[in-house]
Amino acid sequence: MTDPCPPAAPGPWWRAGRFPLFAAARGLSVTGDLAALSALTVHVFQDTASGAAVSGLFAVRVLPRLFGALAGGLSDRVDPRRLLVFCDLISCAVFVLIACTRPGYAMILGLVLVAESAATVTAPAAQALVARTIPAHALSRANGLLMAVTAIGFASGAAIGGLAATTLGYQYALLVNAASFVLSAALVAALPRVPAVREDDDRGFLAATRAGLGRLRRDRQAAAVAVATIGVTFAAAIDRPALVVLTQRDLAGGSGLAYGLALGGISLGALVATLLMGRLRALTPSAAALVAGIAVEAAGHLGMGLAPTVAAVVIGAAVAGFGDGMEGVTAITLLQRAGGSSVGLVMGAVLSGSYLADATGSLLGGLVVGAAGPRLTFGLSAALMIACAAVPWYAARNARRSAPL
């Protein structure tokens, strides 16, 4: 696969494709989306008093994400800017409809399914747009800034949605979300046109999708990055219930505050890493940086499992978050560079695998914690991460050995 990134242009890299407008659009969209999700979750539980109903809401959100490869393939055939605008407007209409009609549970699930289907198209389209507008030397910095904006949007959106749902009513949070989608669509519409790289492909859509996935499998280094990314997501998800049990039950003085501090430590570490990516030579995306990021993340998870106090858990969480941010930006950048004319398809396929791995790991983690306890669960997670790090390391070593002298 060939590098889809454009050549470097004169002036600061962030002027390419009007990147600040795009970053602002993604921040608005993510903030509104998390506000709506938080508000809907609170509303569904208050209305049904059923944990199963809340699980149904999350299941509907995950289901479309399993078709990420197909969704990503659209951005290889259509201007990703147009896809982003269209999907933002569809999502806006959905949440306005929910807010104004206050439908029952079944109708909420159906409408959320529509919105999440649009979001499934949006994620790979956004990464394809970045790959095609940002010069290769600045790609990691752009991805790092976008991940930082996304992390801030997740945190602020969840807080806004929860507060709005409990004080004003869930429909107001949904209207805020709808407004954020309108603003996001307006900003994206102001970006320059991004030609699709496969708009003249005369093959059928499914045939082109199969061909793109075949090229990913044959590119051993890109495939290794994809496998490592999905595997690390699975390993990290196993620890999710372990962190709750460790901070709430096993540590003296543990409380809801302890769990919140641990999550804050992860977020802070990831935010620092994403902002540093590409600025320091040691954090330039490469197979070595990917392996190092996964190793740092594994060390953080092991540290949390061995931590004797809440403070030590928070430190381990910050280390894990730093490794997670480093690994995330590096993997995205390497996959964007390798994607070539199938960059949207590649990113969509990896996102689908990651969502499935996250859901499976979370379910399995509860069983492992119940059988072995939280500390051994953290150890298992760290061991799985090291095994995942070996995949890109081995692929890079083989590539160096086979390279002509």
pLDDT digit string, tens, across residues 38-78: 788 778 877 887 767 877 887 888 888 888 888 888 888 88
Q: Check whether residue 286 and residue 393 sit in a common domain.
A: yes
pTM, full prediction: 0.81
Q: What is the CA radius of gyration of the chain?
A: 21
Residues 18, 166 contacting (CB under 8 angstroms): no
Domain that includes residue 83, residue range? 13-192
Q: Check whether residue 306 and residue 352 sit in a common domain.
A: yes
CB within 8 Å of 248: residues ≥ 6 apart: 254, 255, 256, 258, 259
| pLDDT digit string, tens, across residues 218-240 | 788 889 999 999 999 999 999 88
Q: Check whether residue 235 and residue 179 sit in a common domain.
A: no
Residues 241, 364 contacting (CB under 8 angstroms): no
Q: Check whether residue 394 and residue 335 sit in a common domain.
A: yes
Instruction: Establish if 6 belongs to a structural domain.
Output: no
Listed residues 163, 192, 221: the one ending a domain? 192
| pLDDT digit string, tens, across residues 156-179 | 776 777 677 777 778 888 888 888
Q: Check whether residue 218 and residue 326 sit in a common domain.
A: yes
Instruction: Tally the domains of the chain.
Output: 2
How far is it, in rounded angstroms, from Cα 139 to Cα 193?
19
Q: What are phi and psi of 226, to 5 degrees?
A: -65, -45
Other beta carbons within 10 angstroms of residue 84's beta carbon come to 29
Q: Check whether residue 35 and residue 159 sit in a common domain.
A: yes
Q: % helix / strand / coil in the chain, to the nearest 5?
A: 85, 0, 15
Q: CATH no. for residue 113?
A: 1.20.1250.20
Listed residues 192, 227, 260: the one ending a domain? 192
Instruction: Establish if 279 belongs to a structural domain.
Output: yes
Instruction: Establish if 111 belongs to a structural domain.
Output: yes
| pLDDT digit string, tens, across residues 82-92 | 999 999 999 99
Q: What are phi and psi of 93, to 5 degrees?
A: -60, -40
Residues 151, 267 contacting (CB under 8 angstroms): yes
CB within 8 Å of 387: residues ≥ 6 apart: 231
Given this model, what pLDDT does residue 52 score? 75
Q: Check whether residue 117 and residue 182 sit in a common domain.
A: yes
Q: Check whether residue 145 and residue 231 sit in a common domain.
A: no
- Banded pLDDT at 390 (limits 50, 70, 90): very high
| pLDDT digit string, tens, across residues 173-216 | 888 888 889 999 999 999 888 766 655 455 666 666 777 777 77
Residues 265, 317 contacting (CB under 8 angstroms): yes
Q: Check whether residue 375 and residue 227 sit in a common domain.
A: yes
How far is it, in rounded angstroms, from Cα 110 to Cα 98?
11
Q: Check whether residue 188 and residue 219 sit in a common domain.
A: no
Listed residues 192, 226, 257: the one ending a domain? 192
